[in-house]
């Protein structure tokens, strides 16, 4: 028969329940979170008037990227002040065809293939042209010159600033053009609800073990031992398991949410 529950048992039960409620709210919030990858980093996304606002972190600096469509031109305002602020304009033309030359894994030219492309021009806040090429969202690449050769968005497209952490900052032209063309769209974050319910079941078992420890001990040993009774060592160690239960549950929830 179970003895009267101690304050430690009650506290551990409350803690386990609180962990479940906290992470349920967090999982629900995350499942409605809209995100987009820019510069290889995850940015949260929301509408603000006529602009789409991306909020995230680059080079350990929090900031925003505002995307505003202005007809055929899409403006991107980077605001990571004080170290870095700049604007970029992406102008996309009408779709046309271009004979593109693909390259293999060693960078050698391969077969030519006719592709549908759009002329694209990217300028910065000072009006300097960073890119004047053709754009296609495909496995072969993003940008092509008039001869159909793939372009690299590498060292020629370097923007520098006075801040050391932003030295040689390279604007993510591929991401910006994809967003302007509508080939990249923010999506809701995928939350592992299956794992959440699995660990919630585990949490329920842990809570029952805290609430009815002798019953669980009997169920664990009654097939192998007649009239099993817990040893003094088992009784001494048992409260440690109670304390670890909500911590273990929180660790499992956290791993599935952010892994």
pLDDT in tens, 12-44: 999 999 999 999 999 998 888 899 988 888 999
Residue where a domain terminates, one of 169, 188, 207: 188
The yes-or-no verdict on residue 4 having pLDDT over 80 is: no
Q: List, for residues 53-97, the tens digit of each pLDDT value.
A: 999 988 788 999 999 998 889 999 999 888 888 899 999 999 888
Is there a single domain that holds both residue 13 and residue 98? no
Picking from 29, 44, 26, 9, the residue whose alpha carbon sits closest to that of residue 253 is: 26
The average pLDDT across 249-258 equals: 90
Is there a single domain that holds both residue 180 and residue 228? no
The number of domains in the chain is: 2
DSSP state of 181: H
Is there a single domain that holds both residue 221 and residue 117? no
Is there a single domain that holds both residue 222 and residue 152? no
In a domain, 139, yes or no: yes
Q: List, for residues 149-175, the tens digit of each pLDDT value.
A: 877 643 333 444 444 556 667 788 888
Is there a single domain that holds both residue 178 and residue 245? no
Spatial neighbors of 256 by CB under 8 A, at least 6 apart, are 192, 195, 196, 199
Picking from 100, 101, 99, 73, the residue whose alpha carbon sits closest to that of residue 88 is: 73
Q: What angle in degrees, to the nearest 10, is found between the helix axes of 7-31 and 193-211?
A: 170
Q: How far apart are CA 38 and CA 52, in angstroms?
A: 13
Residue where a domain terminates, one of 188, 206, 224: 188
Is there a single domain that holds both residue 108 and residue 75? yes
pTM of the model: 0.68
């Amino acid at each position: 028969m179970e003895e009267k529950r101690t304050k430690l048992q009650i506290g551990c039960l409350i803690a386990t329940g609180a962990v479940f409620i906290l992470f349920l709210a967090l999982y629900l919030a995350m499942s409605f979170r809209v995100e987009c990858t820019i510069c290889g980093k995850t940015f949260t996304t929301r509408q603000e008037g006529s602009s789409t606002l991306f909020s995230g972190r680059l080079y350990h600096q929090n900031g925003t990227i505002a995307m505003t469509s202005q007809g055929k031109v899409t403006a991107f305002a980077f605001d990571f002040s004080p170290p870095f602020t700049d604007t970029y304009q992406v102008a996309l033309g009408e779709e046309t065809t271009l004979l593109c030359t693909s390259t293999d894994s060693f960078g050698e030219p391969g077969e030519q293939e006719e592709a549908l492309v759009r002329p694209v021009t990217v300028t910065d806040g000072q009006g300097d042209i960073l890119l004047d090429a053709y754009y296609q969202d495909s496995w072969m690449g993003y940008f092509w010159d008039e001869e159909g050769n793939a372009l690299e968005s590498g060292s020629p497209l370097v923007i520098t600033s006075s801040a050391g952490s932003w030295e040689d900052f390279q604007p993510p032209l591929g991401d910006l053009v994809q967003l302007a063309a509508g080939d990249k769209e923010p999506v809701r974050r995928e939350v592992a609800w299956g794992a959440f319910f699995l660990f919630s079941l585990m949490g329920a078992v842990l809570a029952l073990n805290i609430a009815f420890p002798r019953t669980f001990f009997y169920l664990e040993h009654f097939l192998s031992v007649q009239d099993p009774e817990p040893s003094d060592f088992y009784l001494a160690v048992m409260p440690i398991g109670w304390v670890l239960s909500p911590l273990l549950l929180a660790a499992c929830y956290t791993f599935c949410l952010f892994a």
